[in-house]
Chains A and B, each alone.
Chain A
Amino acid sequence: MYVAVKGGDKAIENSLHYLADIRRGDRRVPELSIQQIREQLPLAVDRVMTEGSLYDPDLAALAIKQANGDIQEAVFLLRAYRTTLPRFGASQAIDTGAMQIRRRISATYKDLPGGQILGPSFDYTHRLLDFTLAANGETPEAPTSEEPVADGMPRVADILDHEGLIELDLPDDEDGPVPDLTRESTSFPADRATRLQNLARGDEGFLLALGYSTQRGFGNNHPFAGEIRMGELAVSFEPEELGFEIEIGEITVTECQMVNQFKGSAKVPPQFTRGYGLTFGHCERKAMSMALVDRALRAKEFSEEITAPAQDEEFVLYHSDNVEASGFVQHLKLPHYVDFQGELVTVRELRKEIAAREAAERTDDDELAAAE
């Protein structure tokens, strides 16, 4: 006798145990601590914080551990935690000009006030596997400069600003509330603040590919990396009951300002336009990709023809979020047998009809007429 499949409960429970077991791995190898992940996989932590849109290195490290190192799953964990947190309000806008710089490079000027500061970067590693790391060699401390980093470190975009060569960077609505796309559903056309929020949370790989596509001609973009800067800055908050702002902490951010050609329009003389990218921590590739896509999405603003995916607001904003994308792609694992059964019935009926028709055609014309 047939007995229907049962026991989903037990199966789920066992699956969870198995997953945890695999996370732990070979028990003879010491277990990873959250501190180790936070300190030794900092870029993974930064990416999880950025796409998880929650600045908390410890929780991000925990998420990475709990997700068995699956970065997107870790992002999801952080998001699911974030969604339950109460909103006290929006912080004051951060001033990246006041950043304590760790890295700052410009591709548009050879030298500039404050100088170029290479900071920590993979750019000039030779990508040779370093076998001393495998041998657990201790890494020597990095040397520190005799000279302190210059105090005045103006942003490159501000330098262009003095000459009026670059568009003004004004908020759409300085006093209005900051939109929160995790609380309201996005409507189109979306304002730039919403777009930037979406891109900041967006999947690095997706933005990288889109940004790359603009460089290859899918969307005309002629960018210069005006400036990339990374470092620490203070975040302030003004509680309503206090009436003045207080510093609530310090965060690391990476900012990218892309400078793009613009040939001018009837209203505006030729000048440079901006694409903007900002991430938590050190996510340089993401910040640059974001800046390219931000500029591409501004096509309508500059009356540019919209021809490429990266310029298409609905396309980009609806598909950038890896938590949404991953969930929907993976929901295909869920049972669909009711739907499939519906299709089976239809396909069988269609095949039966065709077979009957063919059979009828093989017989004589009278029978054909009868069959119809």
Chain B
Amino acid sequence: MMALRDNGPLLEVEGLTQKYGHQIGCEDVHFSLYPGEVLGIVGESGSGKSTLLRCASGLMQPTAGTVRFDTRVDGLQDIYALSEAERRMLMRTDWGIIFQNARDGLRMNVSAGANVGERLMAVGERHYGSIRDVSSEWLEKVEMDLGRMDDLPRTFSGGMQQRLQIARNLVTKPRLVFMDEPTSGLDVSVQARLLDLVRGLVRQLGIACIIVTHDLGVVRLLSDRLMVMRRGRVVEQGLTDQVLDDPQHAYTQLLVSSILPV
């Protein structure tokens, strides 16, 4: 996948602030994301990284600031100024969201194949055979046993559910995928395999990605750039290796020396 505009950002976040009453979810966050780029957002729980992800992914309207996305037809558009119909269309075609809890991202009462095929049907595909072919293709890409295609997700392990979520999101070849703690709650060995898979797919398809995690291992493996959040604010950002190997902010230094509780 090549970006439509070679030079411009895919997503542009400016002055993003979310308040819950007097409490600050996140405050005055700025960043741009370019096509094919992977951005990691790290911080301990309560640092505001999940709030930021929800605001940036269209799930929660921020108190202030803008989130602009490079739409295929009209270029950069404030996603909260779009009509709900347009926003929902965007979310099921050009965007993907992979939730920490697979139950939030999958239809647990329909088969794996239907979970993957849903987006195709939502954009008008009406040929059962080809929906099935494309679904199988994607299940293979995420290394799932095709024999399980007609099984319900609840019969799957946590790692399989996450892989199914990935297939379900990538089937419409989105340009941007949000991931919220995609590997937490999984065994270490399963995590490693999943991360490997995600890295492969993201590179191969040139998908831009925002990954929120408390796990520095995840961002070291996947992300090009890194943002460190604390108490709702971005305290440091830069190239991943640079931030992790030569942290400037005292908090990042603490984080990197891994003495912080997650």
Partners in one complex: yes
A: residues with CB less than 8 A from B are 265-267
List B contacts of A265 (CB < 8 A).
Answer: 21
Chain A residues with CB under 8 A of B21: 265-267
* Distance from B124 Cβ to chain A, minimum over Cβ atoms (Å): 28
The 6 closest A-B pairs by CB, nearest first: A266-B21, A266-B22, A265-B21, A267-B21, A266-B23, A266-B20
CB-CB < 8 A to A266: which residues of B?
20-23
| A–B Cβ pairs within 8 angstroms, 6 of them | A265-B21, A266-B20, A266-B21, A266-B22, A266-B23, A267-B21
Q: Which residue of B lies closest to A267 (CB)?
A: B21
Q: Which of B20, B21, B22, B23 has the most CB of A within 10 A?
A: B21
Nearest-CB distance from B57 to chain A (Å)?
Answer: 21
Interface size classification for chain B: under 10
B residues 12-38 in Cβ contact with A at 8 Å: 20-23
- Taking CB atoms, residues of chain A closer than 8 Å to B20 are 266
Q: A265's closest neighbor in chain B, by CB?
A: B21
Nearest A residue to B19 via CB reads A266
Distance A266 CA – B24 CA, assembled complex (angstroms): 11
Q: Which residue of A lies closest to B22 (CB)?
A: A266
CA distance A333 to B22 in the complex (A): 57
**A267-B19 Cα distance, complex, nearest whole Å:** 12
> CA A267 – CA B23 in complex, angstroms?
11
Residue of A nearest to B21 (CB): A266
Q: Using Cβ atoms and an 8 Å threshold, which residues of chain A touch B23? A: 266
- For A267, what are the chain B residues with a Cβ–Cβ distance below 8 Å? 21
Task: Name the distance in Å between B129's Cβ and chain A's nearest Cβ.
Answer: 16
Please measure, in the bound complex, the distance between the C-alpha atom of A266 and the C-alpha atom of B22, giving whole angstroms: 5
What residue of chain B has the Cβ atom nearest to residue A266's Cβ? Answer: B21
Query: Considering the chains assembled together, what is the distance between the CA atoms of A26 and B5 in angstroms?
Result: 90
Measured in the bound complex, the distance between the Cα atoms of B20 and A266 in whole Å is 8
Q: A266–B25 Cα gap in the complex (Å)? A: 13
CB distance from B260 to the nearest CB of A (A): 27
- Among B124-140, those with CB < 8 Å from A are none
Bound state CA distance, A266 and B21, in angstroms? 4
Taking CB atoms, residues of chain A closer than 8 Å to B22 are 266
Expressed in whole angstroms, the minimum distance between the Cβ of A268 and any Cβ of chain B is 9
- Interchain CA distance A267-B20 in the complex, whole Å: 10
Complex Cα distance, B21 from A267, in Å, reads 7
Give the shortest distance, in Å, between B241 (CB) and chain A (any CB). 40
Chain B min CB distance to A262 (Å): 14
Question: In this complex, what residue of B is CB-closest to A264?
Answer: B21
CA distance A266 to B63 in the complex (A): 15
Q: Give the distance to chain B from A193, nearest Cβ to Cβ, in Å.
A: 27
A28-B21 Cα distance, complex, nearest whole Å: 73
Q: How far is the CA of A77 from the CA of B22 in the complex (A)?
A: 53
- What distance in Å separates the Cβ of B21 from its nearest Cβ neighbour in chain A? 2
In the assembled complex, the CB of B104 is this many whole angstroms from the nearest CB of chain A, namely 15
Q: How far, in Å, is A153 (CB) from chain B's closest CB?
A: 38
With A and B bound together, what is the CA distance between A267 and B22 in angstroms? 8
Bound together, the chains give a CA A235 to CA B173 distance in angstroms of 66
Give the Cβ gap from A283 to chain B, nearest Cβ, in Å. 39
- Provide the bound-state CA to CA distance between A7 and B164, in Å: 59
A23 and B53 CA atoms in complex are apart in Å by 67
In Å, the complex CA distance between A304 and B22 comes to 16
Question: How far is A265 from B23 in the complex, measured between Cα atoms in Å?
Answer: 10
Query: Chain A nearest CB: distance from B164 CB in Å?
Result: 26
Contacting A at CB under 8 A, from B156-194, are none
Chain B proximity of A300: nearest CB distance (Å): 15
Distance A265 CA – B22 CA, assembled complex (angstroms): 9
Shortest CB–CB separation between residue B189 and chain A, in angstroms?
Answer: 34
A105 CB to nearest B CB, Å? 37
Q: How far is the CB of A53 from chain B (nearest CB, A)?
A: 37
User: A185 CA to B206 CA in the complex, in Å?
Assistant: 50
Q: How far is the CA of A229 from the CA of B22 in the complex (A)?
A: 39
In the complex, what residue of chain A is closest to B23 when comparing beta carbons?
A: A266
B24 to chain A, nearest CB (A): 11
Chain A residue, CB-CB nearest to B20: A266
Give the Cβ gap from B18 to chain A, nearest Cβ, in Å. Answer: 13
